[in-house]
Structure 1
Amino acid sequence: MNNTINLSTIGFTKKTAKEFFELLQKAKVKRIIDTRLNNISQLAGFAKRNDLQYFLKEIANIDYIHLLDLSPTQEILDDYKKKKGEWSIYEQKFRELMVKREIEKKLDPDLLQDSCLLCSEAKPHYCHRRLVAEYLRDHWGNINIYHL
C-alpha cells in the first residue's frame, strides 16, 4: 500500500455538539467509524447512534458506520471501568483482542481514508480508539493519526 491514510480519532464527552461537529468539519472527515460497544445509551446525548447518524449527515454530510470488531468486549470494559482496573492491563487485553480478531485483515484500508474513529473518552490517552489507530498503523505502516 502506497497511499497514506489520514485517520482521525475523537471522543464526544466534554465537547458541545457545536465543538464536536466543527472539529469534524475542520478536519474534513468523510466518515465516522463508531468503535463503541454500547452506542445507544441515553448518556451519549447527541452522540446516541441514531441521533448521531442523522446529525452527521445533516450538519456535515459525514457518513456513519458502527464496527463492533473495533470495540472492546463487555468483560474487558467492565474490568477496567467498573472494577477500576489498571490501564496497562486493559491495553494489553484489548491489543490481544485485536490480534485475535485480525482487524488488519478484515478492514479495507480505503474505508479508513479521511475517517474518524469515535468513542466516548474526551482524550485519546486512555482510550481504545487510539489503540485501534496505532495497531493498524503498526500493521499497515501508512497511517497518519490525528486526535481531534
Structure 2
Amino acid sequence: MLNPSIQLFTIGFTQKSAEQFFESLIKSGIKTLIDTRLNNVSQLAGFTKKNDLKYFLKQVGEIDYVHILDLAPTKDILDEYKKNKGDWEVYERKFLKLISEREIEKKVSPELISYGCLLCSEAKPHNCHRRLVAEYLSKKWGNINICHL
C-alpha cells in the first residue's frame, strides 16, 4: 500500500545526555521529531521541554518538531500503569484500543512518518507506547521499517 522505503524511528530521552540524544537524531537523518508524550513540559523533561526542544532541534539539526496528543495515552491509562504499578499487558491492551478508536493512521501521514522519530521518555522501547504506535502504524499501512534509537 505504501512505499516500502518508509523509515520510522523511535527514541526515549531518559538516560541520554543531550549530546547522545541529538547526535542519534542527526546521524539517523531524522526530519521530524514527533512528540508522543502526554506531558511535554514537566520538570523531568530537562532539555526535552516542548519549547526548548523545538528550538534545539532546529538549531542543532534542522529537525522539525510536532506534538501529537492523539499518539499519547490518556492520563487514566498512564496513571494506572505508572503510579499504581499496573500490568503492562493491561496497559498495552487499553492503549491499542485507544489509538484504534482515535484512528491515528488518519491523523498522521506517511510523509510525516518517513524519517520521523516518535519521542517519549522511556529509555527502552519494550514497555513504551511509542513502540506500540510504531507497530500499530506498520500493521495499518505495511512496509514501515522501525528502528529504535
Name the TM-score class by shorter chain.
over 0.9
Structure 2: gaps spanning 5 or more residues: none
Matches of 1:112 and 1:64, distance apart in 2: 12
> What does residue 7 of structure 2 align with?
6
Answer whether contact 2:125 2:148 (CA < 8 A) is retained.
Answer: yes
> What does residue 98 of structure 1 align with?
99
Q: Are 1:52 and 2:53 counterparts?
A: yes
Q: Shift of the alpha carbon at 1:94?
A: 0.2
Answer whether contact 2:2 2:142 (CA < 8 A) is retained.
Answer: no
Residues 1-148 of structure 1: matches in 2 within 5 Å?
A: 1-4=1-4, 5-148=6-149
Please give the per-residue CA displacement for 1:20-43, whole angstroms capped at 9, x wherever unaligned.
000001100010000000000011
Local SS of the residue matching 2:26: helix
Answer whether contact 2:2 2:141 (CA < 8 A) is retained.
Answer: no
Q: Shift of the alpha carbon at 1:131?
A: 0.1
Matches of 1:3 and 1:113, distance apart in 2: 10
Runs of 4+ in 1 over 2 A off after TM superposition: none
Local SS of the residue matching 2:10: strand
Which residue identity lines up with residue 3 of structure 1 in the other structure? N
Q: Percent identity?
A: 66
Which residue identity lines up with residue 26 of structure 2 in the other structure? Q
Q: Shift of the alpha carbon at 1:109?
A: 1.3
Q: Shift of the alpha carbon at 1:105?
A: 2.1
Which residue identity lines up with residue 32 of structure 1 in the other structure? L
Matches of 2:41 and 2:128, distance apart in 1: 19
Q: How many residue pairs are counted as aligned between the two chains?
A: 148
Local SS of the residue matching 2:122: coil
TM-score scaled by structure 2? 0.97
